[in-house]
Amino acid sequence: MTTNTEPALSTPRTEPVISLRGVHAELGSRPVLRGIDLTVRRGEVVALLGANGSGKSTTVRSVIGQVPAGTGEIELFGTPQRRFRDWARVGYVPQRTTAAGGVPATLTEVVASGRLSRTRFGVFRKADREAVRRALDLVGMADRAKDSVDALSGGQHQRVLIARALAAEPELLILDEPMAGVDLASQEVLAQILRQQVDRGTTVLLVLHELGPLEPLIDRAVVLRDGCVMHDGPPPKAVGQHALPGHDHVHPHAPAGAEPIRTGLLS
């Protein structure tokens, strides 16, 4: 008899939740993604990094079908994206939007819109109303449930958008720069919320400019440049732009007006 002390090959973590192979995409007839390979496995927290315009948002938007992929393959939970219908399993927090988009709405109404995918014909049952309340509670905004989203700060908006994504109790969370325009205190709150989700086994793909307070959560960093993957591996260790591989660097003895020395991945 043999005793198997190795983890089973079928451990949930090996299951790809997102899989992109050779993905190309064009926007305005300009190639923006030029052969992206990216796999995110169940339970992983993967940060997508890169300079402005390197294709991070386009990559996540292609995953959720907002940008049509030209060539290449995209799979979600092992199903080709064009056949994937189970969108309630995916929570998405877009980049730099306000929760209301100019439409008067309460926090509950905005968060409830994220639950629609779990309802039958848009009818909210008790379990759905509870899920909405729970999502607001998770982001610490339950006491503001009936307030208008117009009255929120940038960090609070972001929390509501995360609650909207959490309302469907997704297995995969995709967040596009969740920390952008968010004050430090709210960043800590957002990091705490994400930590709870990760502890529950939620898979996370997030676009970041720098790791910041999320650094301890990140399993892997994928760095893009000009629509290509430049690095896929351990996240950079320290916090801040200077810690990221490849920040632009002007040598102290360089002549005035000299071009920055491009040191690597993020330039």
Ligand X SMILES: Nc1ncnc2c1ncn2[C@@H]1O[C@H](COP(=O)(O)OP(=O)(O)OP(=O)(O)O)[C@@H](O)[C@H]1O
The nearest distance, CB 57 to ligand X, in angstroms, is 3
User: CA 127: distance to chain centroid?
Assistant: 26
Instruction: Closer to ligand X by CB, 50 or 91: give it.
Output: 50
Write out the two tokens for 47. 């940060």
Instruction: Closer to ligand X by CB, 32 or 139: give it.
Output: 32
Residues 6+ apart with CB under 8 A from 49: 56, 207, 208, 209, 210, 221, 222, 223, 224, 244, 265, 266
The nearest distance, CB 178 to ligand X, in angstroms, is 13
The nearest distance, CB 221 to ligand X, in angstroms, is 14
Instruction: Closer to ligand X by CB, 157 or 225: give it.
Output: 225
Instruction: Closer to ligand X by CB, 50 or 114: give it.
Output: 50
Residue 258: how many CB atoms within 10 A of its CB?
10
Instruction: Closer to ligand X by CB, 34 or 220: give it.
Output: 34
* Residues 6-65 within binding reach of ligand X (CB under 6 A): 27-28, 30, 32, 50, 52-58
Residues 6+ apart with CB under 8 A from 194: 45, 173, 175, 178, 204, 214, 217
Residue 223 to residues 96, 100, 122, 139, 187, Cα–Cα distance (Å) = 21, 32, 39, 29, 22
DSSP string of 154-183?
HHHHHHHHHHHHHTT--SEEEEESTTTT--
Instruction: Closer to ligand X by CB, 94 or 140: give it.
Output: 94
Q: Give CA–CA dist 41/18, Å, rounded.
A: 7
Write out the two tokens for 238. 């320290």
Q: Give CA–CA dist 144/125, Å, rounded.
A: 22
The nearest distance, CB 24 to ligand X, in angstroms, is 13
The nearest distance, CB 208 to ligand X, in angstroms, is 9
DSSP string of 186-200?
HHHHHHHHHHHHHHT
The nearest distance, CB 30 to ligand X, in angstroms, is 6
Residues 6+ apart with CB under 8 A from 147: 106, 107
Count of residues in contact with ligand X, rule CB under 6 A: 12
Instruction: Closer to ligand X by CB, 53 or 122: give it.
Output: 53
The nearest distance, CB 254 to ligand X, in angstroms, is 26
Q: Is 265 in the site for ligand X (CB under 6 A)?
A: no
Q: Enumerate binding residues for ligand X (CB under 6 A).
A: 27-28, 30, 32, 50, 52-58
